[in-house]
């Protein structure tokens, strides 16, 4: 499946016309709560879903949160295929959707799973 076919399938499933811009990017906003960027990899074999979860809290609170996040995504225990990273002080979540062997539901299902993980960790960062 190509990135365009995956996006056409997602458009049908969501009822929204979704496309990648000339740079291979598409930004989605959910309930004013999440912004999810979708980006085609340079080799066009996958689509990255990623989102900024918020700022890493300072001192001990930030350390405890990072420990919980590392435990959560160790072997995908609580995060599935979502992984976490830092961009400066911002915590990000990433999900790679492989297009090889993908079907009509692959991107939609990946997006649903990603949003479930985001909901948990955005709340954790805001505590």
Angstrom distance (rounded) from CA 56 to CA 40? 27
Overall number of domains in the chain: 1
User: Token match 């085609």: residue?
Assistant: 40
Domain range for residue 120?
3-126
The whole-number pLDDT of residue 32 equals: 83
Q: Could you read off the pLDDT of 59-88 as tens digits, one per residue?
A: 888 889 888 888 888 887 888 889 999 999
Q: Could you read off the pLDDT of 5-62 as tens digits, one per residue?
A: 999 999 999 999 999 999 989 999 998 888 999 999 999 999 999 999 999 888 888 8
Question: DSSP of 50-95, one letter per residue?
Answer: EEEEEEPPSHHHHHHHHHHHHHHHGGGTTTTT-EEEEETTEEEEEE
CATH number at residue 11: 3.30.1460.10
The whole-number pLDDT of residue 105 equals: 97
127 has pLDDT over 80 = no
């Amino acid at each position: 499946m190509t990135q365009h076919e995956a996006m056409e399938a997602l458009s049908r499933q969501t009822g929204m016309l979704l496309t990648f811009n000339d740079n291979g990017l598409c930004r989605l906003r959910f309930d004013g709560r999440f912004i999810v960027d979708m980006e085609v990899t340079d080799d066009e074999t996958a689509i990255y879903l990623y989102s900024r979860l918020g700022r890493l809290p300072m001192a001990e609170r930030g350390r405890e949160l990072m420990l919980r996040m590392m435990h959560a995504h160790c072997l995908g225990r609580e995060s599935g295929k979502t992984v976490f990273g830092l961009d400066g002080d911002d915590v990000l979540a990433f999900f790679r959707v492989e297009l090889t062997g993908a079907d009509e539901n692959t991107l939609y299902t990946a997006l649903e799973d990603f949003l479930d993980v985001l909901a948990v960790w955005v709340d954790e960062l805001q505590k």
